[in-house]
Amino acid sequence: MHILVTNDDGVFAPGLQALAQALRDLGKVTVVAPDKNWSACGHAKTLTRPIRVEEVSLADGSPAFACDGAPSDCVALACLGMIEEKIDMVVSGINPNANLGHDITYSGTVTAAMEAIIWKLPGIAVSVDSPNGHEEPIDFSLAAHVGARVAKMTLEHTLPENVLLNVNVPYVGKDALKGIQVTRQGIRKYRDKLLRRADPHGKPYYWIGGDPPVGVPQAGTDAGALAEGYVSITPLTLDLTAYDHQETFTAWNFT
pLDDT tens-digit series, residues 51-98? 999 999 999 999 999 999 999 999 999 999 999 999 999 999 999 999
129-175 per-position pLDDT tens digit: 999 878 789 999 999 999 999 999 999 999 999 999 999 999 999 99
23-53 pLDDT, tens digit each:
999 999 999 999 999 999 999 999 999 999 9
Domains of the chain: 2-188+215-250 (3.40.1210.10)
HEC assignment per residue over the chain: CEEEEECCCCCCCHHHHHHHHHHCCCCEEEEEEECCCCCCCCCCCCCCCCCCEEEEECCCCCEEEEECCCHHHHHHHHHHHHCCCCCCEEEEEEECCCCCCCHHHHCHHHHHHHHHHHCCCCEEEEEEECCCCCCCCCCCHHHHHHHHHHHHHHHHHCCCCCEEEEEEEECCCHHHCCEEEECECCEEEEEEEEEEEECCCCCEEEEEEEEEEEEECCCCEHHHHHHCCEEEEEEEECCCCCHHHHHHHHCCCCC
